[in-house]
Amino acid sequence: MKPLTACCWIAAAFIAGGEKVACCENIHDVASDLRVPAIIHGDPAPGKRVKAVTNEWRHTDVHHLLYLPDDWRPGQSYPVLVEFPGNGGFRNDLGDVSDGTPASCILGYGLSGGTGFLWVSLPFVEVAADGTQRNCLTWWGNLQATKQYCQATVRDICNRYGGDEARVVLCGFSRGAIACNYVGLYDDTIATLWCGSFCHSHYDGVRKWPYPDSDRTAAIHRLGRLNNRPQWISHERTVADVATFINESGVDGSFTLVPIPYPNHSAAWVLRDIPERAEARRWLRRTVHR
């Protein structure tokens, strides 16, 4: 593996020639100190997570979830966490589950602790042959519709609730982690929305998936739109494959690679008081205060 660029930081547990990470058995055996708020129907309010839809899609079955931080006040400005979920239909023997809906998103709450950040959980948008639109549970649905809903929703939330358009961080787990580049860097228009991105468990270009342009060449082209904005990249047990991909891509950037010392394919670690979450929160503060 070639040496990492000067702009790439790797957790101390990652050692050249291999990773020395003490692996714990199951993240679900670690007591959580956060509980994601229940989803309610009604108007957005501080400390509440509500079902919402962006105006142009109000006659469709597409929706997202919006959380206003417990310290939210009208007229004030807040950084924004925008999160894409993992694929639906996933379950394993460790107790990890993903249903593919915005309701399964937890990164934004774990990273913020419910304070100081607007948090929106976005869908991927599926368009049926008859034009009907709804949330897509597996992969991207209609990529153009997904991108359009994302852009419109981020701007609407910033306008209505004081989101700072210069401090929007894109987040995702699994499918959502791939989406940080596959969707978030799809073209120059959407790429400019983000001041950074947080990718947990999978990364665009590391392996080929069953959809168009998942190959390394296309992924590297997308990565070129990152334009040195910071990325957090974590994965259960090892980040070696991602480090190799980034090195071989030839793209310089501000990459923070952190192995999570649990085998779980899950974002549940952000709801636990572990050292990796503390480092993730420090990364987030640096990113929105650059």
Reference 172, options 286, 277, 81; nearest CA is 81
Report whether pLDDT(290) > 90: no
Report whether pLDDT(213) > 80: yes
Reference 219, options 207, 229, 231; nearest CA is 207
- What integer best gives the mean pLDDT of the chain? 93
All structural domains of the chain, each given as residue ranges with its CATH number in brackets, are: 8-288 (3.40.50.1820)
Rounded to the nearest 10 degrees, the angle between the axes of helix 216-223 and helix 240-249 is: 70
Task: List all residues 6 or more positions away from 190 whose beta carbon is below 8 Å from its beta carbon.
Answer: 147, 150, 151, 183, 184
Q: Are 121 and 65 in contact (CB under 8 A)?
A: yes
Q: What's the CA gap between 73 and 233, in Å, rounded?
A: 32
Report whether pLDDT(46) > 90: yes
pLDDT for the residue 21: 56
- Tokens representing 213? 């342009």
pLDDT for the residue 24: 82
Rounded to the nearest 10 degrees, the angle between the axes of helix 216-223 and helix 175-182 is: 60
Average pLDDT (156-168) is 98
**218-255 per-position pLDDT tens digit:** 999 999 999 999 999 999 999 999 999 999 999 999 99
Task: List all residues 6 or more positions away from 230 whose beta carbon is below 8 Å from its beta carbon.
Answer: 195, 196, 197, 253, 254, 255, 256, 283, 286, 287, 290
Report whether pLDDT(11) > 80: no
Average pLDDT (53-82) is 98
pLDDT for the residue 105: 98
Identity of the residue numbered 212: P
**23-42 per-position pLDDT tens digit:** 789 999 999 999 999 999 99
Reported as type and span, the H/E element at residue 9 is strand 8-10
Average pLDDT (194-217) is 97
Report whether pLDDT(14) > 70: no
Classified as helix, coil or strand, 267 is coil
Q: Are strands 133-136 and 163-173 parallel, antiparallel or unpaired?
A: unpaired
